[in-house]
Every structure is written in structure tokens, then in C-alpha cells.
Structure 1
Amino acid sequence: MTVAVLYGGPSEERAISVDSGSAVAAALERRGYRVARIDVGADLPERLRETGAERAWVALHGPFGEDGVVQGCLETLGVPYTGSGVLGSALAMDKLRSKQVWQAAQIPTPPVVDLASEPYDTVAARLGWPVMVKPAASGSSLGLQRVDQAVDLASAHEAARVYDDTVLAEAWVAGTEVTVGVLDGEPLPVLRLKITRGFYDYTAKYDSGAGTEYHQPTGLGEVVEGQCQRVALAAFWALGCDGWGRVDLMVGEAGLQVIEVNTIPGMTEHSLVPKAAAHAGIGFDELVERILGTATTARG
């Protein structure tokens, strides 16, 4: 079987995608597959036809690669691919619409204010301080900034707009950050993140010197870990996601709060899904092959 590993692309997360794609391609080659590495651009259909790829392992991060655009192309070409379909990808990438779906499904998530359409005064009245300002459609924690007072809101808004025109202010949730990987409809062991520099931003994710620690068992107890897994799956399915992914949550005084769903999480040495899979006895190469096994064009 020839597998096309799709990586790179034009988003701000290109560098991480290149690392993910390289790791995935190497793992597939070790498992005996013929691999076609494709740095994704407008010529993707031609490149796929040239390689004769029978499946696509999508290792793209951010807009264009993770928001349903590439997924729609692969659907049109009839190439089975890993990760969520067009709808799940598009919804999960849009943090505002994700929350609207979760609120309708009564899945707990912090409230937000859309800074593109609502006045700044709404933030203090509805959310209080502090808040997390974030672009609605960006990944790898790019553009995130904690804001503690009204005077800093405008500058944080402008900084986040570099990544997306729609910017959200989200109520700050104090507590413990956890993440739940999903593999073929089943939750992986819960990881607790211990962050020494404020919150889980780009540096905390990808800089090995940032001091971020990952704990399993989490120390929260089996009951709470089970609740995290159940809520994570509910949030994942509510958006129409499937295949594999990762759900980030906060555990605080108000209980569990879903922060976001990642439909194509990183697959680097620092990435969370491989760390969680290892605690389930699944090595990196096996994980990559099992994700390949979920590739399909039949979703829903």
C-alpha cells in the first residue's frame, strides 16, 4: 500500500506540521508501507494522482489543513484519509461554533464573548476578570493571551487578530489542565499537565526547556479521570469528529470544562497523544498504523 503523508501547508503551524509529518512518515516506513511525502499546496490533487496513493495520513495543522478544506479535496478525489471529516474538522477548528454546539448539547464549557461583534464592556459584565483572549480559528495555542484588566483588552485583541479576524474572550477557569486523546472512538489515558509558566501556550507545548510536566496517573483519582474521558468523548462526538484526536479540559471548582477539540493533534516528540498512547501500551509506530487503519471517506 502507498500512503501519502500530507504535511506542511501554508498555515502558521507549518513548522510543527513538518515535524509531525516527518515522524509519521518514518513510522509508516518502519512498518513496511510505501510512503509518499507531500508538502501540501494547491497542486495536491495532481500530487496524489502522481503517487497513486491509496490512503492519506493527514498531518496538517491549522487552517487549510485542519478545517475541512483538505478533507473536502480528499473526499472529492475518493482518497480515504485519517482524522475527522469535513463537518467535524470545520466545527472543531472554529472555537466559537464549537462552544455553541456544546452549549446546545449541555456539555460544560467556559462562556465567551465574541470581540468582533460585541463591545468590550460586555467582557467585564459577562465574564469578569481575568479572561483568555484567543483567535477563533487557530491552533498550537498561537495568539493566546491572559488579560487581567480592561485596559489591556484592545492590545490583546489586536495581537490575536494576526491569526484570525474572529477573536474571543473566554472566561478564565482556574484549576488543573488535563487532556484526553481519542483513538478510534476510545479514550486514551488522561494526562495532567503541570505548567510552570502561566498556561499551556506555544512555548509550553513545544519548547523542551519550558518545564512542562505530564502526569499519568493524574493524581485526580479514577472517578475524576473516568469523568474526564466521558465528557471528552461527548464533546468530540457532538462536533461530528471521528477517527482520532484530542480533547483539552480544565478541572476546577465548577467541575469539568471543555476547552477545545483538536482533530489533528501534533505527532512530535513533545506531543500529547503519543504520550497518552504510551501509557496504554501503544508505541509510536503502532499508534501511527492504528490511526491509518481509521482512514475512510465514509463518515457520519
Structure 2
Amino acid sequence: MTLPKLHVAVLMGGWSAERPVSLMSGEGVAKALESKGHRVTRIDMDRDVALKLAEAKPDVVFNALHGTPGEDGTVQGMMDLMGLTYTHSGLATSVIAIDKELTKQALVPHGVPMPGGRVVKCAEIHERDPLPRPYVLKPVNEGSSVGVAIVTAEGNYGNPIAREAKGPWQEFEELLAEPYIRGRELTTAVIADKALLVTELKPKSGFYDFDSKYTDGMTEHVCPAEIPDEIAQACKEIALRAHRLLGCKGTSRSDFRWDDTQGVEGLFLLEVNTQPGMTPLSLVPEQARACGMDYPELVEAIIAEALSDRAAADAARTSRAS
């Protein structure tokens, strides 16, 4: 789809823990669009976001928000009510995908391999471990590895976990507890209903946390990953299946852990990110570039799908009315 010159509102910032990442993503997107001759209105989301969008009257909104409320269906519902065309996934998909437990309920019955575990009240973990160690504790609805803790057999947070130990239990009322999967960190992007490549992430220290993701030099990206063909193919098949089952639009990124001693049986999907980062260190632009698509082309491809979906929806409504 060849794009005409458009007026695009780039929605960025907000007030989630991922605000700095969103600002970097949004500015990158805005500059890419301007390089292609589009008119851009930058909107740093605040409580007056609906008024700002109404005043801007864009042809399309590029949603570069990360975390809540820009990725959990809240902003999507607002834009639906306003009749705006916007990029990335819609309300229902966003509500499910931001919630790791709802994502499991949507995908596991369809054969998508995901870790077991359960949601626990933080008060409980100071009395007893919810799972055998080692295990992982993470917020149910945050991205970018915000608030993730790995609880090891050595009792790095105390045994049981001490209330005064620094960790996500001090910030959230409940957490998702999952078995720790040893091995390697892999990720696959889907753009316009096509799985791209597999990237392996090798943090220089610790695990692939927020700092490792967004600090230059802290993580080595191996793209494409140096893994057996059957694992690469499994990652792409699972990522595309999850993208379709959840109803994702534009682009998504599926994150995996792979226990390389177990072959394909050791591969588990951790989560599906419906609005992956678009920063200089982000994984989706990197995979797109490795497939021959530069950054401005990637941005336009995401917008093109949003416009195509809107045109199809309008045509369907017209057909039903006639």
C-alpha cells in the first residue's frame, strides 16, 4: 500500500514506568514520518489527551505509548469512541495481551507452550514460597521486564522473602509466580501478519531487565540467532499463531525462554508485546532492518495496515447498512 502524504499524530510519553522509552519511540517515529514528507503532530499524553487529539484532527494516530494506560485498552477505547484511526492492536486485544494471566488463558488451550504458575497476593510470599525455587515473580500487567525478580534456592531475598527486601512486592499487591526456565532469551517480531526473524539476547550481566533493554552496550543482540533451524521455525510459528489468536494488528513481539538442553520441548512463550519499542535499541526495527526494511518503511507499513483495516471496517459497515 503506497501511502499518500498524511497528517499523523504521534502519541507518546504518558505516565507509566515506561514513559522514557515511549518518548524515545515516539520521537523516532515522528522523525521517520517527517523524512517521508508526512505532517506530524507530537502529543505527549496527559489527562487532556482527548482534547489534544480532537484539536489535531489527524488522518491517523501512531500509538507509541508503552505500558498503561496506552497499551491496556484504555486509550484504544477512547480513540474508538472518538472515531479515530490508530495503529497497533485494538481494545479487546490490548486488554488481554497486557495481562500475562489472561494471555495464558487465551493461548494455552490452543497449544501455545507457556510456563505454568499462578497469581499470588504479595502478603503470601512473605510467609511461604508460592512455587519451588528457583521461580520468577513479575507484575501481571507491566512490560519491559519492569518489576521482575528471580528468586533462587540460595535465598537472595531471604527465605521466605523478607518484607524489607527490595523487590516488586513493595510496589504491587499481587504478582505472577512462574517456574524459572533456565537457558536462552529469544524474541520474534511479527509485522503485517508475517513473522520475521529470531533474535537472541545476551545480557552482559544478570538477566534481560529494563536497564539491559534500554542501556546501550548492556545486551548483545544476535540477529538472526545462532540456533537450530527447528527452534527458529518454532519461534516464528508460535509468534505468528499468538499474534493471530490474540488479534494483534500492526506489529507484535513475542518473547521466549529456551532451555537448550531440552530441544523444542524446552521452548516457552513468555509474553506477547502488542506495542513493542521503536527506539534505536529496540528489537522490532532491528529485525525489520535485517529483512531489508529500513526504519521509515517500517513505520509506514504499520500505518498502512491501520488504514487498510479501517477501510475494510468502513466497507463492511456500508455493506451491512445497504
**TM-score, scaled to structure 2:** 0.86
Q: What is the distance in 1 between the residues matched to 2:118 and 2:128?
A: 7
Contact 2:128–2:160 under 8 Å retained in 1: no
Q: What is the distance in 1 between the residues matched to 2:13 and 2:233?
A: 35
1:98–1:243 CA distance, 2 compared to 1 (3 A): same
User: Percent same amino acid at aligned positions?
Assistant: 39
Aligned equivalent of 1:239: 246
Q: What is the distance in 1 between the residues matched to 2:164 and 2:21?
A: 24
1:131–1:43 CA distance, 2 compared to 1 (3 A): same
- AA aligned to 1:272 is L
CA-CA distance at 1:155 after TM superposition: 4.3
Aligned equivalent of 2:134: 130
1:133–1:255 CA distance, 2 compared to 1 (3 A): same
**1:21-100 to 2 correspondence within 5 Å?**
21-100=26-105
1:274–1:152 CA distance, 2 compared to 1 (3 A): farther
1:174–1:277 CA distance, 2 compared to 1 (3 A): same
Contact 1:55–1:81 under 8 Å retained in 2: yes
CA-CA distance at 1:154 after TM superposition: 5.0
Aligned equivalent of 1:293: 304
- AA aligned to 1:136 is V
- The SS at the match of 1:151 is coil
In the TM superposition, what whole-angstrom CA distance separates every residue of 1:247-294 from its partner, at most 9, and x where no partner exists?
001121242100011111111111010111111011111111111112
Q: What is the distance in 2 between the residues matched to 1:147 and 1:37?
A: 41
Q: What is the distance in 1 between the residues matched to 2:123 and 2:110?
A: 24
Q: What is the distance in 1 between the residues matched to 2:211 and 2:249?
A: 28
2:224 matched to 1:217?
A: yes
**Structure 1 residue aligned with 2:145, among 115, 137, 141?**
141
CA-CA distance at 1:87 after TM superposition: 1.0
Q: What is the distance in 1 between the residues matched to 2:113 and 2:128?
A: 21
**1:101-180 to 2 correspondence within 5 Å?**
101-116=106-121, 119-120=124-125, 123=129, 127-148=131-152, 149=155, 151=159, 153-155=161-163, 159-161=167-169, 164-180=172-188
CA-CA distance at 1:165 after TM superposition: 3.2
- The SS at the match of 2:46 is coil
Contact 2:250–2:303 under 8 Å retained in 1: no
Q: What is the distance in 1 between the residues matched to 2:175 and 2:166?
A: 9
- The SS at the match of 1:270 is coil
Q: What is the distance in 2 between the residues matched to 1:45 and 1:268?
A: 25
CA-CA distance at 1:215 after TM superposition: 1.0
CA-CA distance at 1:52 after TM superposition: 1.5
Q: What is the distance in 1 between the residues matched to 2:247 and 2:190?
A: 13
Q: What is the distance in 2 between the residues matched to 1:156 and 1:84?
A: 39
Contact 2:255–2:271 under 8 Å retained in 1: yes
Contact 2:118–2:176 under 8 Å retained in 1: yes
In the TM superposition, what whole-angstrom CA distance separates every residue of 1:86-137 from its partner, at most 9, and x where no partner exists?
111111111111122222222111112211289547755xx42111111111
Contact 1:178–1:193 under 8 Å retained in 2: yes
- AA aligned to 2:58 is A
Aligned equivalent of 1:198: 206
**TM-score, scaled to structure 1:** 0.92
Q: What is the distance in 2 between the residues matched to 1:194 and 1:89?
A: 28
- AA aligned to 2:176 is L
- AA aligned to 1:39 is D
In the TM superposition, what whole-angstrom CA distance separates every residue of 1:30-76 from its partner, at most 9, and x where no partner exists?
01110010111222222112112010000000010000001111111
Report how many aligned residue pairs link the two structures.
296
- AA aligned to 1:224 is I
Aligned equivalent of 1:12: 17
Extract unaligned runs of 5+ from structure 1: none
Aligned equivalent of 2:196: 188
